[in-house]
Amino acid sequence: MNKRFAHQFLPFATGLGCLLALFVLIEVLVRNGFINSFIVPLPSDIVFSFQRIVTEEQVLRRFMLTFGEAMAATAMLSVAGISLGVLLHRVRIVRLATETWIAALASAPLVLMYPLFLVIFGRSAWTIIMIAFVSALPPVILKTLEGLSGARPVLINVGRSFKLTPSQLYWKILFPAALPTIFVGVRLGMIVALINIVGVEFLINFGGLGQLVNELSERYDLPGTYAAICFVVLVSVLFFLGTERIERWLRPGT
Amino acid sequence: MAQTGHLMQAPRAAAPLFSPVTWLRIAIIAVVVALWETAAYGAQLLGHIDASFAALSDIMSKVTPSLLTIGRSLFELLAHADLKWPVGLGGWQRDLWVPAFYWHLYVTIAEVVMAMIIGGLSGLLVGLALGANPFLSRAFERYLYYLGPTPKIVFFPIMIMWFGVGPESKVAMGTLSCFFPIVLSVAAGMRQIESVLIRVGRSFRLSTRQMVTKIYLPAMREPIVNGIRLGMGVALIGTLLAETKLSNRGIGFMIIDAYNTFDMPRMYAALAVLFVLAIGANALVGRASRAR
């Protein structure tokens, strides 16, 4: 019991305690004028602003809008990314010709193309969904390819010993074996997509949670802006935790 | 008559000029270029078919300008000297006429480098502390781990309030973006150092500074370089996005300015150069991590 206390609870309490102490310190410094309250609002005001932004700024509707965009981008990512990954795995010459290009695209700041998407799709949800889709596609393709290429040879040999047809071998052995790695790619894609969705919403002042931060900051509602940013961070963390839990369920032992 | 004493060499077939992979790459590029040019030509043609299509034709020809037009814009972007850039060293002062692109590129690179120095060094120090001390790691690392994949651009209004609308707020955005991947890579890398190396260092009674410079940092070169590689990518994105939101300088500003004036060829040209530079920088750092 003492060992568990020292190993788990004490560090957790220290971390949480330090965070709370930091908030209290900022509150004291702002109240006493050491920090300008026109730059950093009182932490207590930020906490009270949560209720206001939930009731007055329609946070639930905005959250659903951002979540819907993220899900639409994820659905497109899953279909296109996995299909292209399978294609690259099955047709070796296509893989050899394009894999380095896709890897290069994964490191390019594709989100900077959002003005181009604004011209094509206008200031609409499609701009946000498409930029999230394009930015997050390369990691999904590469992870699908990695999963299919990394399937254990013994599984493939078992399939061959049962005289499975190439199609059966693919869908009964190779694809299920690669599924956990493919999900890692989809999860990575979902996270990149969510980051880009909120980012582009903020930049073009359209849509859900990103727009909320932009609107509040343009109104110079300081506690509201900070509270909205905390809300966005909270949603991102919950999204990350949720997908991480699914990944652990798919890949026990990782 | 059988020949003995030396092996007969079969005449070698001449090696093909290009491998099938290269041919496929050329074919893909040719198809993309052909499709693009068809779209560009089709957009222009649309306006001539019927006057009611004129507006659509105009937008389409802006979205898919001919590659020749983009090439011309690229040349202008890189070679047309349209900015007086005063440079000086000590008493030597001179005005240089250069393409404005290089000045904007200089601003963006300076912002990203500053962000990497501040974010990289602080990430390195915090990562070393978290990696060396399991208690600190259990107390604080979870917050960094979960804050890492959040959209940092939403912090930009705060950065503007703290640091103003100038380059400082862009440096702060880059710093905030690159801090998390670097700190997490360094902490994870530190935990993976073989304990025998640490014991050797201690048996030689190295000081803390010597342990860091002689044992920890050389053993963690790969995770550090990988962290820097990841950090550089996100710092670049954070800085450029901040420039597109509120700035009057930098490549991000150039891109959004081209959009605002609907100069699409210029925007394509700026994006193309930016992608080439970003991919090149990433490849260079990646090569550094693999070099022995």
* Whole-complex ipTM: 0.87
One domain, residues A53 and A98: yes
Instruction: Specify the amino acid at residue A88.
Output: L
What pLDDT, on the 0 to 100 scale, is given for residue B13? Answer: 65
N- to C-terminal Cα separation, chain A: 26
Kindly state the helix (H) or strand (E) to which residue A153 belongs, with its residue range: helix A153-161
Nearest Cα to Cα of residue A194 among A113, A104, A77: A77
Q: Which pTM was predicted?
A: 0.86
Q: Are residues A206 and A115 in the same domain?
A: yes
CATH classification at residue B275: 1.10.3720.10
* CB-based contact A18 B139, cutoff 8 Å: yes
If you search the block for the tokens 């594709």, which residue do you land on?
A110
B29 part of a folded domain? yes
List the single residue in B20, B59, B259 with the smallest CB-CB distance to A115.
Answer: B259
Q: Angle B120-B123-B127 (CA atoms, 0-180°, nearest 5)?
A: 140
Q: How far apart are CA B228 and CA B97, in angstroms?
A: 35
State how far the Cα of B237 lies from the Cα of A8, in Å rounded to an integer. Answer: 37
- Residues of chain B contacting residue A132, judged by C-beta atoms under 8 Å apart: none
To the nearest 10 degrees (0 to 180), the angle between helices B20-49 and B54-63 is 150
Among A65, A68, A62, residue whose Cα is nearest residue A231: A62
Q: Any idea what DSSP says for residue A242? A: H
The mean pLDDT of chain A is 89
Q: Is residue B95's pLDDT more than 50?
A: yes
- Please list the alpha-helical segments (H only) found in chain B: 20-49, 54-63, 67-79, 100-132, 134-147, 156-163, 167-191, 195-203, 208-210, 217-219, 221-245, 251-260, 264-290
Rg (CA), chain B: 27
- Residue closest to B176 by CA, chosen among B242, B273, B84, B91: B242
Provide the CB-side half-sphere exposure for B17 (13 A, CA): 2
Verify that A26 and A114 share a domain, yes or no.
no
Helix, strand, or coil (residue A57): coil
Q: Which residue type does A237 have?
A: V
Residue showing tokens 């349209």: B82
Residues B33 and B131 in one domain: no
Enumerate the residues of chain A whose CB falls inside 8 A of the CB of residue B140: 15, 18
| Inter-chain contacts counted by CB atoms under 8 A, chains A and B | 134
Averaged pLDDT score across all residues of chain B? 87
**Which residues in chain B have their CB less than 8 angstroms from residue A12's CB?**
138-139
On chain A, the residues whose CB falls within 8 A of the CB of B157 are 213-214, 217, 225, 229
Do A88 and A17 have their domain in common? no
Give the closest of A39, A114, A214 to B161, CB-based: A39
Give the residue numbers spanning the domain of A51. 41-250
Q: Are residues A109 and A222 in the same domain?
A: yes
Give B7's DSSP letter.
P
Amino acid B87: pLDDT = 79
Residue in chain A lying closest to B265 (CA): A116
| Residues of B whose CB is below 8 A from A113 | 271
Cβ of A199 within 8 Å of Cβ of B153? The answer is yes
Instruction: Indicate whether A53 and A167 sit together in one domain.
Output: yes
Same domain, A190 and A102: yes
- Given an 8 Å threshold on Cβ–Cβ distance, is A198 in contact with B267? no
Residue B194 gets which letter from DSSP? -
- Residue A227 to chain B, least CA–CA distance (Å): 11
Give mean pLDDT, residues B63-73.
Answer: 91
Give per-residue pLDDT as tens, A50-71: 888 888 888 889 999 999 999 9
Same-domain status, B138 and B280: yes
Measured in angstroms, the CA of B267 and the nearest CA of chain A are apart by 8
Kindly determine whether residue A115 and residue B156, on different chains, have CB atoms separated by under 8 Å: no
Q: B248: which DSSP letter? A: S
- Residues with Cβ < 8 Å from B20, sequence gap 6 or more? A93
Of the partner residues B21, B236, B258, the one whose CB lies closest to the CB of residue A93: B21
- Quick one: pLDDT band at residue B1, thresholds 50, 70, 90? very low
- Chain A residue with Cα closest to B266: A116
Beta bridge partners of B88: B93
Nearest CA in chain B to A202: B154
Residue A208: burial class (beta carbons within 10 Å; 0-12, 13-18, 19+): buried
Q: Name the residue among B151, B256, B264 with its Cβ closest to that of A199.
A: B151
Q: Is B224 exposed, middle or buried (0-12, 13-18, 19+ CB in 10 A)?
A: buried
- Residue B149 CA: distances (Å) to CA of A164, A240, B55, B85: 42, 8, 42, 39
Whether A24 and A142 map to the same domain: the answer is no
pLDDT average, residue stretch B4-32: 77
Instruction: Please check whether residues B265 and B131 belong to one and the same domain.
Output: yes
Tens of pLDDT, residue by residue over A178-194, are: 888 898 899 899 999 99
Give A22→chain B minimum CA distance, Å. Answer: 13
> A240, B146: Cβ pair inside 8 Å?
yes
DSSP B286: H
**Taking 50 as the threshold, does the pLDDT of residue B2 lie above it?**
no
Q: Are residues B152 and B286 in the same domain?
A: yes
Question: Which chain A residues are Cβ-neighbours of B139 within 8 angstroms?
Answer: 11-12, 14-15, 18
Q: How far is A158 from chain B (nearest CA, A)?
A: 32
Distance CA B228, CA B109 (A): 15
Provide the domain count of chain B: 2
Tokens of A110: 């594709």
Together in a domain, A26 and A54: no
Please tell me the distance in Å from B180's CA to the nearest CA on chain A.
Answer: 14
CATH number assigned to the domain comprising residue A182: 1.10.3720.10
Judge whether B265 lies within some domain.
Answer: yes
Closest Cα in chain B, distance from residue A236 (Å)? 6
| Interface touch B153/A203, C-beta < 8 Å | yes
Convert the pLDDT of each residue in B106-154 to its tens digit. 999 999 999 999 999 999 999 989 988 889 998 898 889 888 888 999 9
Q: For residue B46, what are the domain limits? A: 22-64
Nearest to A119 among B28, B264, B271 (CB): B264
Are residues A36 and A55 located together in one domain of the fold?
no
**Could you give the number of structural domains in chain A?**
2
Answer yes or no: do A199 and B28 touch at CB < 8 A: no
Residues A137 and A155 placed together within one structural domain of the fold: yes
Bigger pLDDT: A1 or A92?
A: A92
Q: Above 70 in pLDDT, residue B101?
A: yes
| Residue B28 falls inside a structural domain | yes
